[in-house]
Amino acid sequence: MNLKTPAYALLTALLLGACQDKTEAPAAPKADTAQTAPSADKSEAAENESEETEEAESETEGKGVAVNDPLLQEFADLTEKVRGELQNGKNVEKSYTRHRADVEKLVEKISTAKQDFLENYHDDANWQNDKPTAELRAQQKQLRAVGLEYWDLGEGMVEIRPVADYYVKLFGKAADKDLREFLKLEADDNKQLIYNDGALAVAWDDLANRIAAWENWAGEYPQSTFNKQVADTLKNYRRTYLFGEDNTPVAEDDGILLPEVEKEWTRFVQAHPNSETAQMVEEAKRYWKARQDKGGEEPDLSGYSAPFKNLRQYD
């Protein structure tokens, strides 16, 4: 054994030295961007995953929930009744018009029954750390189970309404193309609050895309029963797009257009040069220049087209 001891000692020393070299020679630190990029990617991925989870939960939160409110059960029965009528594929537009009127009446009845709760929806008793309490969550699930939801209108106001895609899911497959496309666009609009507290709640280009979509629909289906509703929607959107809202102006008080608005108008005209809205944009530029020349006062509208004048005077 004594003859082998020096060899073992030498081998042990070499191994320890190698280990010590690795321990005492750490890798050079990475640049800050290299260190933070993976963290940012993980954060973004986690955020996207969270959003997808919330959407999935929103879609499924009402499934399997026992409805114990007679009025909500009445709404569920109303939905099932029209779903049965649609099986034969006849008189779909008539069924839709009647059902929508029935829904509005019943939702008003439900809202009246829950008026006190709606008025106090944002009370601390219903929220913990900006999240709904178990009691509020249970009520939200009850509504979702039948195709309804609480919808925050801003400024402390909350209403009960059908979920955004209620009508397109119910009537879309059976409806003629004009109604089906109408319901699709309406569902897209209803997914997000457009106006809030006297302000535009979406980006300018988002509003412009909605205008273009509805204008395309109107051109595609000029004889549709729903043209009047679409015309009203376009009036509201165009009026905001060209003249702004109280808390989302398009120009300074003296009439000078805001740079972001002018840029957006240019983009829209280039993207949709033959649209009616593009023509109105050109008139709006002239209108705001005339207003600027008058120190912010309203200019004479006699030289403008009837659609533009009606839009400016539209209330």
- Helix or strand (DSSP H, E) at 33: helix 32-60
pTM for the model stands at: 0.78
d(CA 16, CA 24): 12
Q: What is the pLDDT of residue 31?
A: 34
pLDDT in tens, 172-226: 999 999 999 999 999 999 999 999 989 999 999 999 999 999 999 999 999 999 9
Q: What is the pLDDT of residue 250?
A: 98
Average pLDDT over residues 287-292: 96
Q: What is the pLDDT of residue 40?
A: 38
pLDDT at 123 over 70: yes
Q: What is the pLDDT of residue 63?
A: 64
pLDDT at 3 over 90: no
Q: pLDDT: is 146 or 62 the higher one?
A: 146
Q: What is the pLDDT of residue 49?
A: 41
pLDDT at 53 over 50: no
pLDDT at 35 over 80: no
Q: What is the pLDDT of residue 66?
A: 80
CB 270 within 8 A of CB 213: no
In the three-class reduction of DSSP (H, G, I as helix; E, B as strand; rest coil), residue 162 is classed as strand
d(CA 85, CA 88): 7
Average pLDDT over residues 12-22: 39
Q: What is the pLDDT of residue 2?
A: 39
Average pLDDT over residues 163-172: 97
Q: How confident is the model at residue 314 (pLDDT cuts 50, 70, 90)?
A: low
pLDDT in tens, 234-256: 999 999 999 999 999 999 999 99
pLDDT at 58 over 70: no
Q: How confident is the model at residue 32 (pLDDT cuts 50, 70, 90)?
A: very low
Q: pLDDT: is 92 or 15 the higher one?
A: 92
Q: What is the pLDDT of residue 1?
A: 39
Burial of 235 (0-12, 13-18, 19+ CB in 10 A): middle
Average pLDDT over residues 147-163: 95
Question: Mean pLDDT over all residues of the chain?
Answer: 84
pLDDT at 75 over 80: yes
CB 68 within 8 A of CB 159: no
List the Cα angle 178/183/187 in 5-degree steps: 150
Structure tokens, 204: 């300018």
